[in-house]
Every structure is written in C-alpha cells, then in structure tokens.
Amino acid sequence: MERKFVVAFDRNDQLPERREWLSEAWGDVPTTHFQSDESMLDSIFIDLKINKWELNAAWSSRQGLAPIIRIEILRDESLVEFVNNHASLICDEVDAKVLMVFELEGESMDVDFIILMRLVAALCGRGRCYQWAEKLEFLDEKALADLPSSVELKDMLITCQ
C-alpha cells in the first residue's frame, strides 16, 4: 500500500484558508490548484502542485509532469463512508468531524515527498496528523521537525535538487 497522510480535525472551522496554509507550508513559490469550492470550509477536494519549472526550467526535462497532491476533505456522509471502508486501519483515537486525506498522484521524486510533508506539517497545530501505510500512525510535531524549512525547500527547487 502506498503511503498517504491523514489530518483529523474536531471542527470544520479548524480548516485553514488555502493561501495562508500554502504560504506557511511552502513560502513564496508559484503554485497551481484546483479546488471544488473557493472556501476550504465548503470544499470536498483540492489538487495542488508547485510549478517547479517556473523556478528552474531544468525541471521540465528532469521530471516531465510534476505529480499532483490530491487532498480529499471528508465530512458528514463521506466521512462515515471512509471510516466504514477503512475500519481496520482507523485507530480509536481518530474521532473527528473532518478528515483531510493526502496522497501524491503521478511519478514523484524525493522533493515531492518533502513538498507533501510540508503541507501536512503546517496543519499539525490545527489537527492531529497521521501517516497511513499498513495502519494509521500518529505523527507528532517532533516527527515532522526535521523537514526542510520553506526557504530551504524553495532553494532545493531553484537548484533543481
């Protein structure tokens, strides 16, 4: 099973606004997004990516199509359905009103995983973060502390690392 990440929120109003969240996670980098609703409070999904080639044209030949980070935002009926379908993976402590499920879609490189992890880490203060492989495993802030900063991430993208 590929690795995904889940962030659990007790209330819908704990979801961040997209611009603030991306700024905290990635800093000032060019991005593309497609979102089901302008407000995160009403969205059911968001697809995100950093436009790496705008920072360094070498990305176009190095990677081809950049992977998209697909985020499903589950609440109400979709949350109940998800929990019922994945009951063996869900630990008892995941009692939430909203779940955000993160995964990379497409061919990815190490830097893409860092990009994804920066998004998850930026939500640690608002919700409970989990890694989803064989089962859901809680990620505390210490587990995410070794990630490069948004400035270091931008430098990696500019130097095509």
Q: Where are the alpha helices (DSSP H) in the chain?
A: 18-26, 52-55, 58-63, 76-85, 110-121, 141-144, 150-158
Residue 120 scores a pLDDT above 70: yes
CA distance 138 to 142: 11
19 and 114 Cβ atoms separated by less than 8 Å: no
Average pLDDT over residues 77-96: 74
CA distance 142 to 28: 25
Is the torsion defined by CA of 82, 112, 30, 52 positive or negative?
A: negative
Is the torsion defined by CA of 45, 105, 67, 146 positive or negative?
A: positive
Residue 129 structure tokens: 């973060």
Average pLDDT over residues 16-21: 90
Average pLDDT over residues 45-74: 91
Average pLDDT over residues 154-158: 96
> Would you tell me the crossing angle of helices 18-26 and 150-158 to the nearest 10 degrees?
70
Residue 88 scores a pLDDT above 80: no
Which pLDDT does position 143 carry in this prediction? 79
* Domain definitions of the chain by residue range: 4-158
CA distance 24 to 56: 22
Average pLDDT over residues 63-85: 87
Q: Write down the residue that tokens 């909203």 correspond to.
A: 98
Which pLDDT does position 42 carry in this prediction? 86
- What pLDDT band is residue 5 in, cutting at 50, 70 and 90? very high
pTM of the model: 0.89
Which pLDDT does position 94 carry in this prediction? 62
